[in-house]
Amino acid sequence: LQKSLNETFGADKYSEARKEVLTNMFSRPMQMALYFCTGVLEDETLFRHYALNVPFYTHFTSPIRRYADIIVHRLLSASLGASSPIKMEKEAIQRQADHCNDRKMASKRVQELSADLFFAIFVRVR
Above 90 in pLDDT, residue 102? Answer: yes
Which pLDDT belongs to residue 27? 66
- Residues 70, 74, 77: CA angle, nearest 5 degrees: 135
Which pLDDT belongs to residue 31? 65
Q: What is the pLDDT of residues 26-63, one digit of tens each?
A: 766 666 778 888 888 888 877 877 778 888 888 777 76
Name the residue ranges covered by the structural domains of the chain: 31-53+88-125
Which pLDDT belongs to residue 49? 78
* CA pair distance 4, 7, nearest whole angstrom: 5
Q: What is the pLDDT of residues 54-93, one digit of tens each?
A: 888 887 777 677 788 888 888 889 989 999 988 889 999 9
* CA pair distance 126, 124, nearest whole angstrom: 5
* CA trace torsion 85, 86, 88, 93 (10° rounding): -100
